[in-house]
Amino acid sequence: MSLLEVEGLKAGYGPAQALHGVDLALAEGEALALMGRNGMGKTTTLGAIMGLATRMGGAVRLAGRDITRLPPHRIARLGVGLAPEGRRIFPALTVEENLRAAARPGPWSLPRLYALFPRLAERQRNMGGQLSGGEQQMLAIGRALATNPRLLLLDEATEGLAPVIRAEIWAQLAAIKAEGQSIVVVDKDLAALARLAERHVVLETGRVAWRGDGAALRAEAGRVAKLLTV
Ligand code: ATP
């Protein structure tokens, strides 16, 4: 059984429809890369899985359970953790408080998160608002992981960060995946996504324009790159 099944998903904001029937599937322990140019529906797809965008049709199932009509807090409790675009950490709480506010029992304990993100360990008593962009991104990922989700959703995992920090985050995501964590990741770094994920989907105006595994991505890299450039 798939951990995540998205079937014919239609979603948007108020009356404006942004997704027009998206299908996705992910098995436990796998990573799926969601790609596409700006405004093609990546954030909306994550939002619709999480219950944040208005779902207008189709179905979302988590481990066989229909979560299509559940509100975000119920979906979070069932095991979906989101590190949103823009990070949305709590600026007036310390790093440790940010993590503790989200923490739920499971393998991703505070000590393990600090081992994974040494920069957060060093900064545990600093306010979220005092962190660099890269540290904030690590905190957003750490906070989502602290909920011990069955499925981790990462929006713009490395957007706007310096190359050295991006490399660090990709290495951390590889380590997270090696622990068996299932991940859906949105990013624009095709090479890094090819290394991390075994499933790849490109969205275009709210529809799946291309999908394939790692071998297909290598074979059709030119076509995929074209779908990602304006
Ligand atoms: P980006 O990389 O720019 O975030 P994206 O692929 O994640 O792009 P979405 O943010 O999902 O794209 O946007 C899909 C469509 O929905 C776009 O046409 C966008 O203008 C629209 N949209 C996004 N957010 C809202 C909103 N809050 N209200 C109305 N329309 C929105």
For atom 16 of ligand 1, which residue has the closest CA?
A: 18
Q: Is 27 helix (H, G, I), strand (E, B) or coil?
A: coil
Confidence of residue 158 (pLDDT cuts 50, 70, 90): very high
For atom 31 of ligand 1, which residue has the closest CA?
A: 13
Query: Ligand 1 center to residue 125 CA distance, Å?
Result: 35
**Nearest atom of ligand 1 to the alpha carbon of 206:** 14
- Identify whether the C-beta of residue 176 lies closer than 8 Å to the C-beta of residue 145: yes
From CA 21, how far away is CA 206, in angstroms rounded?
7
For 186, residues 6+ apart whose C-beta sits below 8 A from its C-beta are: 33, 34, 35, 42, 43, 46, 85, 154, 155, 156, 157
Model confidence pLDDT, tens digit, residues 26-57: 999 999 999 999 999 999 999 999 999 999 99
Query: Ligand 1 center to residue 1 CA distance, Å?
Result: 31
From CA 24, how far away is CA 115, in angstroms rounded?
32
Query: Ligand 1 center to residue 166 CA distance, Å?
Result: 24
For 103, residues 6+ apart whose C-beta sits below 8 A from its C-beta are: 110, 146, 147
Question: The pTM is what?
Answer: 0.95
Query: Ligand 1 center to residue 45 CA distance, Å?
Result: 10
3-state helix, strand, coil in the chain (%, to 5): 40, 30, 35
For atom 10 of ligand 1, which residue has the closest CA?
A: 43
Structure tokens at 201: 């989907």
From CA 119, how far away is CA 138, in angstroms rounded?
8
Model confidence pLDDT, tens digit, residues 160-206: 999 999 999 999 999 999 999 999 999 999 999 999 999 999 999 99
For the chain, domains (ranges, CATH) are: 1-79+151-156+181-230 (3.40.50.300)
Q: Is 133 helix (H, G, I), strand (E, B) or coil?
A: helix
Burial class (CB in 10 A: 0-12, 13-18, 19+), 64: exposed
Among candidates 140, 166, 157, which has minimal Cα distance to 88? 140
136 lines ligand 1 (CB under 6 A): no
Model confidence pLDDT, tens digit, residues 114-139: 999 999 999 999 999 999 999 999 99
Query: Ligand 1 center to residue 170 CA distance, Å?
Result: 25
Stated length of the chain: 230
